[in-house]
Amino acid sequence: MEIKISHKPVPYKEAMKFLEEKVEKVHANIEDEIIWILEHDSVYTKGISASDDDLLIPNLFPVVETNRGGKFTYHGPGQKIVYFVINLNKREKEIKKFVRNVEKWIIAILKDFNISSFADPKNIGIWIKKNNEENKIAAIGIKVKKWIAYHGFSLNINVKKSDYRGIVPCGISSKGIINISDLCKIPNDEKINNSIKENFYKLFNS
């Protein structure tokens, strides 16, 4: 397993090109699987089930179509992006179980910082209940090709919430967005990255 950490923002299209090439190399057993931790500059991404009606302000940020599952989401400063390329040919070929494990992975990361969160079977992502309201703290988008699972998730650290105003995030208008910074003092970057890595190994290599 390769762990790649980028300390400067990576353009979204550049990241997608890397992932697509990595999928082919992992499938051909030329290269190892990867976890890639990074950040993007502000961008709206349009998943395969997105509706154009959910793009409210078309020119606020660049809009990029992507082949991941899901609808519109936002990526930008203050958000931790975790991409992966995982070979399900060498693991269990169960997509639903894999998605559940990704959810458990994010929940475990948040638990490391004493944050209680949950997955919603009806609305993909990870949610926080605060003041009787449900708010999304992490978005998940996954594609499986040749039994290689890729794309990943975004985790809100201290993202500017108004940057979401140009879209209906994940097609859900009735729920809000929340950051780790709304719930506790922001952990340092190294601690977050270590939690991402350690909880991956616990869940996926057990």
Whether 9 shows a pLDDT value over 90: the answer reads yes
Domain count for the chain, please give it: 1
Using the predicted structure, report yes or no on whether residue 81 has a pLDDT greater than 70.
Answer: yes
pLDDT for the residue 144: 96
- Given this model, what pLDDT does residue 150 score? 97
**Residue 206: pLDDT above 60?**
no
pLDDT band for position 205 (cuts 50, 70, 90):
confident
Q: What is the mean pLDDT of residues 121-144?
A: 93
Which structural domain range is residue 76 located in?
Answer: 2-204
**Whether pLDDT at 115 is above 80:** yes
Mean pLDDT score across all residues of the chain: 94
Nearest Cα to Cα of residue 104 among 68, 146, 138, 67 = 138
Q: What is the CATH number of the domain that holds 108?
A: 3.30.930.10
Check whether 112 has a pLDDT greater than 90.
yes
pLDDT value for 25: 98
**Beta-bridge partner residues of 38:** 81
**Contact (CB, 8 A) for 206 and 92:** no
pLDDT digits (tens, 9 = 90+) for 182-201: 999 999 999 999 999 999 99
Burial of 67: CB neighbours in 10 Å, binned 0-12, 13-18, 19+: middle
Which of the four pLDDT bands, split at 50, 70 and 90, describes residue 98? very high
Bridge partners, 35 (sequence order):
3, 84
pLDDT for 116 beyond 90: yes
Is 184 catalytic? The answer is no
Q: Per the residue annotation, which of 81, 85, 170, 177 is the catalytic one?
A: 170
| Spatial separation of the C-alpha atoms in residues 112 and 38, rounded to whole Å | 20
pLDDT over threshold 60, residue 7: yes
